[in-house]
Amino acid sequence: MNPPWAGKSGLSKATAILATILGISLGLCGANFVAVMTLVSKSGTAMQGPADTFLTVTGITELVGIGVGVVGLLIVAGIAIFRSLTHRSPPRSEEGK
């Protein structure tokens, strides 16, 4: 199985990588939320100990991944819009009339 960015270059490769990071981070964040809710509902109190530390660190890492994915995609979109507005197409030839 090839990664989504195989055979791509430039903005399309950046978009594929950032979208993959965003998708994975969102999925892991949901799994982390379910794990926290499961542990809290079983104990009835706030978590403490190694599970709390681990889930906190992974949660922060996932939020950073979400932020990187969103900000990166916005930057890529801005670059693409800028390029499309400033790109001048070559003049059409008058041959063929």
d(CA 78, CA 1): 31
pLDDT higher than threshold 60 for residue 97 = no
Domain membership flag for residue 89: no
The domain of 26 spans 12-84
Domain membership flag for residue 26: yes
CA torsion angle for 76, 77, 78, 80 (degrees, to 10)? 90
Domain membership flag for residue 64: yes
Please tell me the pTM assigned to this model.
Answer: 0.74
Determine the Cα angle at 22 with ends 58 and 29, to 5°.
35
Higher local confidence (pLDDT), 92 or 39: 39
Tell me the per-residue pLDDT of 32-81, one tens digit each, with 9 for 90 and over: 888 888 877 776 676 677 877 888 899 999 999 999 999 999 999 999 99
Domain membership flag for residue 7: no
